Amino acid sequence: MTDIREYLAHKPLLFDGGMGTYYKAAPGVECELANLTDPEGVKRVHAEYLAAGAQAIKTNTFGLPRMAAAQMPGWEELAEAGWKLACDAAAEKDAAVFADLGPALDTEAAPASSAYGLAAQQFAALGAKNFLFETLSSDVGVVEAVKALRVAVPDAFIMVSFAVLPDGYTREGLLFRDLLHRMEGSGVVDAVGLNCVSAPGAMKKLVQGLGETRLPLSVMPNAGYPVVTRARVLYQGKPEYFAREMGQIAAAGVRILGGCCGTTPAHIAALRAELDALPRQTGAAPAAKLSTVAAPEVEKDDAFLRKLDKGEKVIAIELDSPRVADLSGYLDGARRLQAAGADLLTIADCPIAQARMDSSLVACRVHRELGMCALPHMTCRDRNLNATKALLLGLYAEGVREVLAITGDPIPTAERDEVKNVYQFNSRKLAQYIVSLAGEGREMPSPMTVFGALNLNARNFDVELRRAVEKLENGMAGFLTQPVLSAQAVENLRKARQTLGERAKILAGIMPVVSQRNAIFMENEINGIHVEEDIIQRFAGLDREQGEALGLEVSMQMAREALPYADGFYLMTPFNRVALMERLIARLRTELLDAEG
């Protein structure tokens, strides 16, 4: 075929459809292995798509990067066989062949860049000139691999395609527009696009909202959404509908089109007819521009954030939501803490994976009824991307402007058979996702402020600090720390301030110990808490009143030592003892914060 760049200057390039779903419509081995076990079957699928009108086909090697990363025996032979089968089929129609590379996992032991690089260089050695990195949910490792590929094949045509939900976000919470801009900015990618997950109608809306782009766009949707029938997954989108929607996408200026899961040769044939009926273009028309209707004014921050931004020391206090459906007592406690001088109420999200009233719903109620700033904790444990987004939009609409993003404790072992963890992303990716929801043309008029957790009691605090830096890079504004109950925790807080600088707001954790039994339990059974032995021994033999009194003294001592390195305090209420925390807030205000002011 003519050089891809020259071809695109004159007319759209039509790809094939979903090799995997079409080949596996009949019982058989996994798709990539068929390059060796059923070469004629693979070549026949290529031929059917070419006969339907495709001018470019993908090698049957979608899983190759993961195979290469795992050093699966024989992966190089699979690549070579897949390349030869596609080339043989394409030669009869003078069609282009793209080395197809699906997503790779990214781990410390096997970085994604290495997996992509191994697979891409294997194809480069076979003579490949065109490469497609597809169905990606992140761009981690892609640019590094492409830059290395450019050295081996300077004139390569390289496409990168992301799999996004109908709202434009990948399963890792990354917005396609941001990914596209990063690909454009890399200077080494020739085209960028969308494929898989969404149907053509959803992709059309995404394309219409992109505005002008510098790189050619590629769109390869699924043929509708999957329906599971017994052991089979079926896509019921009709070829005529697929072709009509894709024709409108082409008319908007998209020059590279094709299909993904569920798209058969019949879908490609219908799209071929639709494209042939379009007026001839000599250049890529810009995509439709997003509407810029002014959004109504909304409250973009709250009193807590304004105080924090002005450099005033703040007090946040955690009060666990109830285990029952009665919130009256909880609201009374929150009201008392507010009157005592707390600036913010934080609500844990089912701590230690035990069900309590939803932290976000409680935060909305507190904000609405008390006018108090609230910080719901949001874990990655219980919600997928859709549920998380729905909750965030509701929080914003209710005036809640900050959240604490944490990974979350796993479900206890005994309950895992019935209650499953989700963990679709970690706290860093969750923070990046939350921040990405705000901006022109996006879901939120202004960004929510995202805080994270900082474990001052981590055994390897240098690793914890590196993670904190990554959290800041992913959009977090600051941290709430684990309780300061040791000299080492104070020293680690000092190191955190030195490393993170003033850009990170740090609230030092203060949790009153109320008895020796309480101290021993925290030391031995609560992850992330360390109580020095001399503190534990000081509580020996004390009754409740004496224990609370000593707990206040220890808390004040820790607060004094932490204050030079903190922007305020994060108080944790033991056993919902609101009266104790009222006393602690009063002393913090009068003895430390007011005196400092």
157-162 and 191-195 strand pairing: parallel
Q: Which of these, 94, 96, 100, 107, lies nearest to 82 by C-alpha position?
A: 100
Q: Is 364 annotated as a binding residue?
A: no
232-235 and 226-229 strand pairing: antiparallel
13-14 and 373-379 strand pairing: unpaired
Q: What's the rounded Cα separation, in Å, for the pair 103 and 221?
A: 17
**Greatest CA separation for the chain:** 90
- Torsion angle (degrees, nearest 10) of CA 300, 301, 303, 309: -130
Q: How far is CA 508 from the centre of its chain?
A: 27
- Read off the amino acid at residue 518: N
- Give the burial class of 572: count Cβ atoms within 10 A of its Cβ; 0-12 exposed, 13-18 middle, 19 or more buried: buried
Neighbours of 36 (CB within 10 A): 16
Residue 593, both tokens: 């914060």
DSSP, collapsed to helix, strand or coil, labels residue 133 as: strand
Residue with tokens 């607060």: 559
What H or E segment, with its residue span, contains residue 161?
A: strand 157-162
Q: By the 8 A CB rule, do 488 and 514 touch?
A: no
Q: What's the rounded Cα separation, in Å, for the pair 192 and 322?
A: 49
Q: Is 261 annotated as a binding residue?
A: yes
453: left (phi over 0), alpha (psi -120 to 50) or beta: beta
Q: Residues comprising the binding site?
A: 196, 260-261
Q: Residues comprising the binding site for Zn(2+)?
A: 196, 260-261
